[in-house]
């Protein structure tokens, strides 16, 4: 078990938003995620990397409260997850899954409005002016006002990704959990979504945990990287330490180089003959 976060690194005296203590997950006697400790601080961005099947999505779903840990416990500040209702969780944590249902019969603004549902009171039949204002604000933030009446199904992959991020922003959850937010996007849309996440991060209003295969996205956005391999924490630390040829080679079983241009470094996979 590894201790990840402030306890180990001695940074930040404030209480973390999320804490995981010895949290693991097994199914049918098979361990998918070995018990790990994790702290997420306010405003922090954490990137989870690792090969396919390493346990990244499982970790994110545990943090979202969608999967119950088979080991350990999760807490939101001092409150155990088990004591929070789904609604209470949804006001705190927004989860954007990687695989999303096709054929969504909703327009962009209807989809983003779904993010407001955890905030409606139980007797409230429809959203109020404040909810619609949050939707407008989220659409402006992601640059989708012009597409608000378009069916989500008719959007490009990058636009659709932005709609889901807008719904998470409208939810006003402090923590955003994003599963592979740039996967399946072409280069330009990857850049757009990366820029969008950069501005969300700089707003300081959200903590972010994202999983990604885009190591340079992790390098650009993350304060801290956790590398999983076979359900175990293989490496953790700031991007400058983890996103180097040495740990990466072992984690992915593939050769990496670091290319430096001025004051910027990029990680590249070496395709050897
Ligand atoms: P990643 O997101 O890193 O690709 P996942 O967390 O999705 O990995 O999955 C980790 C491993 O756990 C995979 O081998 C996957 O097949 C397995 N797994 C995940 N969920 C289940 C489940 N409900 N039942 C059985 N195996 C599962
Ligand atoms: Mg996954």
Strand pairing class (18-27; 71-76): antiparallel
Give mean pLDDT, residues 220-237. Answer: 97
Return the SS3 of 119.
helix
pLDDT tens-digit readout, 141-167: 888 999 999 999 999 888 888 899 999
Predicted local distance difference test score (pLDDT) of residue 5: 60
Give Cα separations from 193 to 47, 110, 168, 189 (angstroms).
Answer: 15, 21, 14, 6
Cβ neighbours, 10 Å, residue 238: 13
Q: How far is the CA of 13 from the centre of ligand 2 (A)?
A: 32
Which is the closest atom of ligand 1 to the Cα of 55?
6
Residue of 48, 58, 63, 181 with the most ligand 1 atoms within 8 Å of its CB, for mutation: 58
Predicted local distance difference test score (pLDDT) of residue 2: 53
Predicted local distance difference test score (pLDDT) of residue 117: 85
Please name every residue paired with 25 in a beta bridge, in sequence order, or none if there are none: 33
Tell me the C-alpha distance between 46 and 44, whole Å: 6
Question: Would you state the structure tokens that stand for residue 93, as one six-digit string?
Answer: 């944590």
Question: Would you state the structure tokens that stand for residue 211, as one six-digit string?
Answer: 């999983």
Tell me the C-alpha distance between 25 and 66, whole Å: 12
Give the number of the ligand closest to the Cα of residue 179: 2
Encode burial over 120-130: b for 16+ CB neighbours within 10 A, e otherwise.
eeeeeeebeee
Predicted local distance difference test score (pLDDT) of residue 8: 45
Asked if pLDDT for residue 247 goes beyond 80, the answer is yes
Task: State the burial class of residue 115 (Cβ atoms within 10 Å of its Cβ: 0-12, 13-18, 19+).
Answer: buried
pTM, whole model, 2 decimals?
0.90
Write out residues with Cβ below 6 Å of ligand 1. 27, 32, 50, 52-58
For residue 4, name the pLDDT band (cuts at 50, 70, 90): low
For residue 188, name the pLDDT band (cuts at 50, 70, 90): confident
Residue of 23, 50, 52, 55 with the most ligand 1 atoms within 8 Å of its CB, for mutation: 55
Of residues 217, 172, 226, the one with CA closest to residue 198: 217
Predicted local distance difference test score (pLDDT) of residue 7: 45
Distance from the Cα of residue 266 to its chain's centroid: 21
């Amino acid at each position: 078990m590894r201790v990840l976060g402030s306890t180990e690194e001695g940074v930040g005296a404030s209480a973390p938003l999320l804490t995981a203590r010895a949290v693991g997950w097994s199914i049918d006697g098979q361990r998918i995620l070995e018990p790990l400790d994790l702290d997420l601080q306010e405003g922090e961005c954490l990137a989870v990397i690792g090969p396919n099947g390493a346990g990244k999505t499982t970790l994110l779903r545990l943090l979202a409260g969608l999967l119950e840990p088979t080991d350990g416990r999760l807490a939101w500040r001092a409150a155990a997850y088990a004591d929070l209702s789904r609604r209470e969780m949804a006001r705190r944590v927004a989860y954007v899954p990687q695989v999303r249902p096709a054929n969504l019969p909703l327009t962009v603004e209807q989809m983003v409005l779904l993010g407001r549902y955890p905030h409606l009171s139980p007797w409230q039949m429809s959203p109020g002016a404040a909810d619609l204002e949050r939707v407008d604000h989220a659409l402006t933030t992601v640059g989708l006002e012009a597409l608000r009446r378009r069916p989500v199904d008719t959007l490009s992959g990058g636009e659709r990704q932005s709609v889901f991020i807008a719904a998470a922003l409208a939810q006003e959850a402090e923590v955003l959990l994003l599963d592979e937010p740039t996967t399946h996007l072409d280069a330009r849309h990857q850049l757009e979504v990366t820029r969008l996440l950069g501005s969300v991060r700089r707003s300081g209003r959200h903590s972010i945990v994202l999983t990604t295969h885009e190591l340079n996205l992790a390098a650009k956005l993350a304060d801290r990287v956790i590398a999983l391999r076979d359900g175990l924490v293989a490496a953790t630390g700031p991007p400058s330490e983890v996103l180097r040829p040495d740990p990466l080679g072992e984690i992915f079983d593939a050769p990496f180089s670091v290319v430096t241009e001025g004051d910027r470094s990029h990680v590249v996979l070496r395709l050897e003959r």
